[in-house]
Structure 1
Amino acid sequence: MTQQGVRWTADQVLALAPDTASRTAGSRLGAAGPWSEAGSSDEGAVWGLCKGSGSRPYQTVVDLADAAGPAYRCSCPSRKFPCKHALGLLLLWAGGDGSVPRAEAPEWAEQWIGGRRGRADRQGRAETSGSPSGSSGSAGPEAARRRAERRAERVTAGATELEQRLADLLRGGLAAAEQSGYGLWEETAARMVDAQAQGLAARVRELGAIPGTGPGWPVRLLEECALLHLLDQGWLRRDRLPEGLAATVRSRVGLPASPEGPPLRDHWLVLAQYDTADTRLTTRRVWLYGPHTGRTALLLSYGAAGRAPELALPVGLSLDAELSVYPGAGQVRAALGTRFGPPAPTVLRPPGTTASGAAARYGEALCEDPWLDAVPVTLDRVVPVPDGDGWQLADADGDTALPITPAARSRPGLWRLVALSGGAPVTVFGECGHQGFTPLAAWPGQPGEVVPLC
């Protein structure tokens, strides 16, 4: 990337930000004012001194040449990665106005760059040479098998209890759900946690949030109860299911799984990256598209409350890497394996479909995974148009349209999409589900760079 003399765009830099506050603060530091002794190397390193509130400037250095993704070091006390100073330095470098010239790295930057690259080389050699496993007995696999059987028994007991509670709820009438309060749902969710069925617990908590949430809540509650009942029955009768669907049920219930099958190598286009958070966990979703494999894949990474996940891939770049796919019918989740180089610029776009084609694709996916909220879809030649109190994406060459989800209407990305279109057709990548379409990235009608919308 940097070795080829190609700099990132500001959007690609800001896609690395761990949260909105860091993105805003980093943007303020993307000017030359607070920086001194900034420089970059042909080997993909950027460094600089940023004046802060103290007497000594912060020493900031970023290594962009690592195939595992950008690495950062800053002498500031922030626990975020990257911190606002690293983001500001990359924005200054991305501007390409001569504020970050080619230069020899100062000693403090060179020591850190050389040290981490040396460690990476030693680790790579160790992985290549291999090491003795220390034990080849069957005690480990046998113990794991017994643990899996005990957990399956606990999950079965939890699913059986949950079936009885759902039956009691329907027998008493859905109106009683509003009167009983959230405590009953939380107690049921706790029982599912005790049964080691985290997936069931999460769905029970979602049920508890529905009563009293506006007109039509009993219908929504009944729909979610039906899906939860279907998942329960799928687990209790998993031995009768096709292997792919059985794997999906195990995943939805909350049992851990590992990627399987041969790794898929491709030049993966980074389509979108966004975070969702609750009080305990931040989940980062990264969507990739492989032009040679024709697959769209989802990478998930997690960070404890208050900390951003480590995985960060700039939107719009191409990553030469291997992915391993998780088991399950119609599953798109994958694990990132070996990377063969840093992310690089690309003019690639994923192939698109129509609004009706996207809806059909979601319907087909539901046959394999009835609990699926949405599928990744690229819409080709669509125009964002107002639709009463909302918005929709209408086919420029047809008479079909998809509504934009209520959650997406309140995000700045919608207005960025409208401005990018200007009434002309655009290509949009996003998630298509039962609530509509959530735009995540877009390309203009004429050749141009991707515009993140999340």
Structure 2
Amino acid sequence: MLLSHGGEPSRTDVPVARWTVEQVQALAPDEASRKAGNKLGSSGPWSEVGHGGGAVWGLCKGSGSKPYRTVVDTSGPAYKCSCPSRKFPCKHALGLLLLRASDSTADGAAAPPGEAPDWAREWLDGRRRRAAERSATDGAPAAGPADPEAARRRAERRASRITSGAQELEQRLTDLLRGGLAAADQAGYGLWEETAARMVDAQAPGLAARVRELGAIPASGPGWPVRLLEECALLHLLDTAWLGIDRVPDPLAATVRTRVGLTAAADGAPVRDHWLVLAQYDTPDGKIVTRRIWLHGRESGRTALLLSFGAAGRSPGLALPVGVTIDAELTPYPGSGQPRAELGRQFDPPATRGTPPAGGPTAAALAAYGHALRGDPWLDSWPVTVRDVIPTPSEGGWQLADADGTSALPLAPSALSRPGLWKLVALSGGGAVTVFGECGHCGFDPLTAWTTGADDDSDGQPVPLI
């Protein structure tokens, strides 16, 4: 999957991707790793550093007698280090990439070009050989279940359990509305948690997650009855769609299945394009960490979402620095207006140059979210790019206002408490910027920004805001 052109292992003359410091720091699995990596971003602790063949390697002095052997395959990226850390990338891999990113000369004084040492070459060759073997089987038909009839019966049993859970949830929503929304505040969170547990028993994790969100609304501040009624209506709509799924159009039916918690494989036609990494961020969810990576296709104009998962305390495996462009195939998932896709074969090492989407005014962002809701009424937000906007304070928060003063988008409450807001304000300096983010019913959540005019070849470094 991580190959050079034509599916062959990368040659030794393939240029290494030269990332910026911001792009490297975006790879860190957490803030502690980012700080530790920054301390190793100078040549002091390093020896035998070099780059070539789409890789960077070096020896880092540690607390033991032997230095840590660190190598990064920048075509992934992927990392290998002899240190005992369970974080990926570890602080040594981050420090090595920062050393390379801050190298002042064209050839790199701190990380000169050369041949990889045997210990690094062995790992790189093994990794790329396995990638070539996977690529060779890409066109082979997928193996079906050992017993299709047994698989069909299991699917029917699960669908029956979900139906029973949806019917029970409908009855509980009816009881809630009959007794009045004020009762929800008096009942406490225990009632919602018990209902969510019933949905888990019904093998409908999507319904369970929405029930837990309902339980948090009565404690969310003034106006909570209105918000609770709105969310109950959306949950009722999802229940009704599942109970009548045979009468729902196929694309929407696929969305309903996903929303109740049924998984589906990516099965659309692969789309090859030059994909710009717009944003990457992690969200913890209990014992799982979900990583979201937004991409934009230069030729297709599509915006796609990659998801990867990791256990708590361990970064998900997939990492793509913001601002990098990859020549790759993406396979879309089924569903009405579904942006999620699966990363397939890559054809060249990542390039460190890319221009942001053209974007539009704030009114166009709202219209795009409204249009997406037609295909998926349960969408919390939709990816958009707004152009020529100025971050300005507003009553109770901040907003992105069109430079011509025609309209504005309020920033989501979640964005107001992050350091990224001040990065955005500093980048703007009172002038217009281009911002990519997620536009939803809670407002606009900015993820990455560029100075206006960044589509010109003369500038355009992205600034991650999360």
Distance 1:343 1:165, change over 3 A: same
The corresponding residue for 1:448 is 460
Higher mean displacement: 177-186 or 105-114: 105-114
Query: More relative contact order in 1 or in 2 (CA 8 Å, sep 6+)?
Result: 2
The corresponding residue for 2:251 is 244
Q: Which of the numbers 161, 173, 181 marks the counterpart of 2:188?
A: 181
**Is the counterpart of residue 44 in structure 1 residue 54 in structure 2?**
yes
Q: CA deviation at 1:35?
A: 1.5
Higher mean displacement: 392-401 or 427-436: 392-401
5 Å matches for 1:273-422? Answer: 273-422=280-429
Residues 260-282 of structure 1: CA distance to partner in whole angstroms, max 9, x if unpaired? 22111111111100000022110
5 Å matches for 1:64-103? Answer: 64-65=74-75, 69-97=76-104, 98-103=109-114
Distance 1:272 1:300 in 2: 12
The corresponding residue for 2:21 is 10
Residues 388-434 of structure 1: CA distance to partner in whole angstroms, max 9, x if unpaired? 33111011124200011111111111111111111111111100001
Residues 208-238 of structure 1: CA distance to partner in whole angstroms, max 9, x if unpaired? 1122332122221111111111111111111
Distance 1:4 1:62, change over 3 A: closer
Distance 1:360 1:216, change over 3 A: same
Report if aligned partners of 1:7, 1:96 keep a CA contact under 8 Å in 2. Answer: no
Distance 2:324 2:39 in 1: 24
Q: CA deviation at 1:139?
A: 6.8
Distance 1:38 1:213, change over 3 A: same
Q: Supply the RMSD in Å over aligned alpha carbons.
A: 2.0
AA at the equivalent of 1:45: A
Higher mean displacement: 210-219 or 252-261: 210-219
Residues 282-325 of structure 1: CA distance to partner in whole angstroms, max 9, x if unpaired? 00000011122121111111112221110111111111111111
Residues 318-362 of structure 1: CA distance to partner in whole angstroms, max 9, x if unpaired? 111111111111111111112112211223221211111111111
Report if aligned partners of 1:158, 1:192 keep a CA contact under 8 Å in 2. Answer: yes
Gap runs ≥5 in structure 1: none
Distance 1:451 1:387, change over 3 A: same
The corresponding residue for 2:10 is none
Distance 1:210 1:132, change over 3 A: closer
Q: Secondary structure at the match of 1:344?
A: coil
5 Å matches for 1:195-210? Answer: 195-210=202-217
Distance 1:274 1:132 in 2: 31
Q: Secondary structure at the match of 2:325?
A: strand
Higher mean displacement: 147-156 or 174-183: 174-183
Normalising by structure 2, we get a TM-score of 0.91
Gap runs ≥5 in structure 2: 5-12, 454-458
5 Å matches for 1:150-161? Answer: 150-161=157-168
Q: How many residue pairs get matched?
A: 446
The corresponding residue for 1:269 is 276
Q: Secondary structure at the match of 1:346?
A: coil
Residues 155-188 of structure 1: CA distance to partner in whole angstroms, max 9, x if unpaired? 1100000000111111122222222222211111
Normalising by structure 1, we get a TM-score of 0.94
Q: Which of the numbers 48, 58, 67 marks the counterpart of 1:57?
A: 67
Distance 1:77 1:261, change over 3 A: same
The corresponding residue for 1:24 is 35
Q: Secondary structure at the match of 1:260?
A: coil
AA at the equivalent of 1:404: L
5 Å matches for 1:251-262? Answer: 251-262=258-269
The corresponding residue for 1:166 is 173
AA at the equivalent of 1:35: W
**Is the counterpart of residue 107 in structure 1 residue 118 in structure 2?**
yes
Distance 1:264 1:118, change over 3 A: closer
Percentage of identical aligned residues? 67
